[in-house]
Structure 1
Amino acid sequence: MADNVQNSSRRGGNKWLTMAWTTISVIILLTPLVAMQFTDEVNWTVGDFVFAGALLLGSGITYELAARVGNLAYQAGVVVALGTGVLTMWVTGAVGIIGSENNPGNLLYLGTVALAILGAILTLGAAAWMRWAMAVVALATAAVPFIAYYAGVADPRRDVLAPEVIAATGVLTIGWLLSARLFHEALRRASAKE
């Protein structure tokens, strides 16, 4: 019986974890009914709460699926990719990376998340291909400020070379690269077992 419990936890499907992220998502979705405004500076709309809840729920479901099929390195790669994607969407939606959240250059960062999702779909989540997909997303993320500049939506000094833009872009790029490295490790571990 202990082996069954251990095998079940290795494959994911931990009902307590599933209940935890589902409960948090529901609380976020229901929060507008209780209070719409945190402070004078943070005034969320119903759409903001729905977006946050859907983002957490989608990430939780994706992790639960990944936890059933991969080894620990694979699961870590998924967690890092999901975390980087959520962070990208949250920051660009809340304050923006290039200028304010209304700057069209920020849509390019959201495009990197779409690229990661497309990569996961096209590769069917296979670690051998996910490592390359995440590496491509990392390169795309690093290029965003420059693409925004050449598209005419970013000022070179204020936006492209601003310390906060460089730092945010660097953190996101490192997140995607770490995910790629973890998928590479997952592939190596799977090959070693064969």
Structure 2
Amino acid sequence: MLTENANSRLGAMSLVRPVGWSAAAIVLLFPMIAMQFEQRLHWGVNWTVGDFVAAALLLSGTGAALELAVRLNDDLAYRAGAFLGIGAALLMVWANLAVGLVGSEDNAANLWFMTVPVVGLAVAMLGGVSAKAMVRAMLAMAFMQFLAGLFVGKAGAAVAVSMALGACWLVSAWLFSRAA
């Protein structure tokens, strides 16, 4: 039998889920609406079908990962670590695909940054996404992030972004360690 506190948390989550998924859908509507005014306002918004598909996959993958994190562990520190880590990964991948962290999105150096979430996901899956495994995954991501920043260190902005994202991975690792 669920306690009253657990019942209230489940009730709150049932309200948050549709809001989160609706927000993801609304994010996809913004560029669609902006494109309707592109010829007059010249906002630089000209998405292709592939752009919409990539954005939809990123947003749905992020939503699914957040849902999984909430279902896997009730600990607030675990959830905060997951939300920070997943949010930072979304931000990095989206920015890298959209404009690139080094030069344009076509610059091969940007592939270094795409290894970061892949390594984190692999380490997390190998450890069964337990809090201890997530600490290792976030530390591995921080290491890969700093490595990527060093390899493409010619661009000052890429180093600054690597430092900021590396800090996110480290804070996320700390949060997961609190849940372990």
**TM-score bucket of the superposed structures, by smaller chain:** 0.7 to 0.9
Aligned to 2:25: 26
Q: Which has the higher helix share?
A: 2
> Partner letter of residue 138 of structure 1?
A
Is the aligned partner of 1:57 residue 2:60?
yes
State whether residues 36 and 46 of structure 1, in contact with CA within 8 Å, keep that contact through their aligned partners in structure 2.
no
Q: Is 2:18 the counterpart of 1:15?
A: no
Counterpart CA distance in 2 for 1:32 and 1:76 is 29
**1:67 counterpart letter in structure 2:** V
Unaligned runs of 5+ in 1: 149-159, 188-194
Identity in percent: 36
**Partner of residue 186, structure 1:** 179
CA positional deviation for 1:29: 4.8
In structure 1, how many angstroms separate the alpha carbons of the residues matched to 2:150 and 2:44? 31
Gaps of 5+ in 2: none
Give the deviation of 1:31 after TM superposition: 6.3
1:44 to 22, 43, 47: 47
2:62 & 2:101 partners in 1: Cα distance?
22
Structure 1 18/167 Cα, relative in aligned 2: closer, same or farther at 3 Å? same
Q: Is the 8 A contact 1:36 1:45 kept in 2?
A: no
Cα distance in structure 1, aligned partners of 2:137 and 2:2: 38
C-alpha contact (below 8 Å) 1:80/1:179 kept by paired residues: yes
- Alpha-carbon displacement from aligned partner over 1:100-137 (angstroms, at most 9, x marks no partner): 11111111111111111212211111111210121011
Q: Which residue of 1 aligns with 2:146?
A: 142
RMSD: 2.6
1:124-143 alignment, distance < 5 Å: 124-143=128-147
Q: What CA distance in whole angstroms lies between the structure 2 residues aligned with 1:165 and 1:15?
A: 39
Shift of 1:161: 3.8
* Residue 82 of structure 1, CA deviation: 0.4
Contact 2:131–2:177 (CA under 8 A) maintained in structure 1: yes
Alignment of 1:30-179 (within 5 A): 36=35, 39-70=42-73, 71-148=75-152, 160-179=153-172
TM-score normalised over the length of structure 2 = 0.84
